[in-house]
Homo-oligomer: A and B are copies of this chain.
Amino acid sequence: MLYDRELHEECGVFGVFNLANASELTYYGLHALQHRGQEGAGIVVSDGEKLNSVKNEGSVRFVFPESVLKKLQGNMAIGHVRYSTTGGGGILNVQPFLFRHGEGDFALCHNGNIVNSKELRRNLEMKGSIFQSSSDSEILAHLIKKDYRSTRLDALKEALIYLEGAFAFLVLTKDKLYAMRDRHGLRPLSIGKLDNGYVVTSETCALDAVGATFVRDIEPGEIVIIDNNGIYSDFYSRDTEDKICAMEYIYFSRPDSDLLGLNVHRSRKECGRILAREAAVEADIVIGVPDSSLSAASGYAEASKIPYEMGLIKNRYIGRTFIEPSQALREKGVKMKLSPVRSVIAGKRVILIDDSIVRGTTSKKIVEMLRQMGAAEIHMRIASPQIISPCFYGVDTSTYEELISAFHSVEEVRQLIGADSLAFLSMDGLKEALGNRDFCHACFTKHYPTHLYDLIENANKDGKF
């Protein structure tokens, strides 16, 4: 994918227990997870007595200038990066949420999406709860508090049973860190060790970034509790399965992350190799759409023995404050995010690798650009199957209407984007590339691992992500 990354996930989470400079480590951890969300960031730190919070709209380095980071003293912390705050209450939806409570303050943050949030919210409101954000994540806090007399862990376990959907939650109290994953295992969450402390993260790339060693992934349905006595495990449910989101491999995660022991770059490269086998075509060069499709492209090139070239360049200096070219300038050919390399492409039969097609609009633009640069033929190869159904678990695959493959055959899509040929990786090919393990492939197959609590047709229409 490209341009503004057509797919979006909600968040990344990162937690630290018993390490000096917990907020700094969280800063570097969140920085390594920045690709999971650039629109909001926050850290809550505990010094053993009090929880302090800083959060704001913007990227990690924007939200935390040095003077601000310094104020967050303590050796426990949780942090969060968020994909989007548009249409969602702005700063109020930025996490972690910090709750002040006579029995002990606590903070929580969340990656994923709760599918029965409307029902839970309505129910909680009936019992007197009021909400300050439109975020799903606030629901857990209210659920925890409802049963006031039990222990925190019991409260957590009971609360989680009510939640259906995808989640990786971190909860921080003044002296404990809780980390939990939904019983379907949809969102990743891993534990690492650093000196005498622990680190919890959405992706393992953040472990390397802070110098921590990978310990293990948290299991579906598991609650890991870390306090001064050590690290414990409990389960809120034993009815679990291991259906991690396939898109984490295909698109979201950083190539240097390992998910359930499988490296992301490797899995992408393998997708490319299998794609070359499944959908061979005669051509002069293989090029990938930077950055996320480069691994698949090099896999395709290797398997097909066709040279891998750098045919598209991504400008590295794009940022939020960049001025978009006007329509008039765009028509003249002004481009700023992605540049085709004329001398590489001109006169060549090109195999163009992309990781996925959502709406198809950017694919169309790239094909056009390559034609203008003189490509003789353009054979588009997609390193994942057709996306035919929306996601309800924290990926912004929009509504049906926005999924080009939901209503169009491969041949129709080919015509719409203007390529000379088009092929997608098969579901079997994807399974093979992911080591034949189980995973969630609802967007490719409509087999949702959870009940949906609403008509698919209405799903995701409130733009609440």
Measured CB to CB, the residues of A under 8 A from B are 21, 24-25, 27-28, 31-32, 34-35, 38, 53-56, 59-62, 64-66, 69, 89-92, 97-103, 121-122, 125-134, 141-142, 145-146, 148, 194-195, 205, 208-212, 254-256, 258, 263, 265-266, 269, 291, 294-295, 298, 302, 307-310, 313, 315-317, 319, 321-323, 325-326, 328-329, 332-336, 339-344
Return the contact of A92 from the options B53, B255, B339 (Cβ within 8 A): B53
Q: Is A128 in contact with B128, judged by CB distance below 8 angstroms?
A: yes
Enumerate the 7 nearest inter-chain pairs by beta-carbon distance, A residue then B residue, closest first. Answer: A211-B333, A263-B343, A256-B341, A34-B317, A211-B332, A256-B313, A100-B131
Q: Is B102 in contact with A122, judged by CB distance below 8 angstroms?
A: yes
A195 / chain B contacts, CB cutoff of 8 Å = 332
How far apart are the CA atoms of A253 and B51 in the complex, in Å?
A: 36
A208-B339, A263-B343 known; A61-B130 Cβ under 8 A: no
Q: Is B255 in contact with A310, judged by CB distance below 8 angstroms?
A: yes
Return the contact of A339 from the options B126, B128, B209, B341 (Cβ within 8 A): B209
A122 / chain B contacts, CB cutoff of 8 Å = 102
A61-B322, A99-B130, A122-B102 known; A310-B295 Cβ under 8 A: yes
Return the contact of A332 from the options B194, B307, B308 (Cβ within 8 A): B194
Nearest opposing residue in chain B for A30, CB measure: B317
Q: Is A344 in contact with B125, judged by CB distance below 8 angstroms?
A: no
Q: Is B321 in contact with A65, judged by CB distance below 8 angstroms?
A: yes
Q: Is B132 in contact with A103, judged by CB distance below 8 angstroms?
A: no
A61-B322, A148-B126, A317-B38 known; A89-B343 Cβ under 8 A: no
How far apart are the CA atoms of A332 and B199 in the complex, in Å?
A: 13
Q: Is B125 in contact with A102, judged by CB distance below 8 angstroms?
A: yes
Q: Is B341 in contact with A255, judged by CB distance below 8 angstroms?
A: yes
How far apart are the CA atoms of A225 and B325 in the complex, in Å?
A: 28
A21 / chain B contacts, CB cutoff of 8 Å = 326, 328-329
Return the contact of A132 from the options B100, B126, B302, B332 (Cβ within 8 A): B100
How far apart are the CA atoms of A310 and B298 in the complex, in Å?
A: 9
Interface pairs (6), CB distance under 8 Å: A24-B329, A34-B317, A101-B130, A128-B145, A130-B142, A255-B310
Q: Is A28 in contact with B131, judged by CB distance below 8 angstroms?
A: no
Return the contact of A28 from the options B100, B254, B295, B325 (Cβ within 8 A): B325
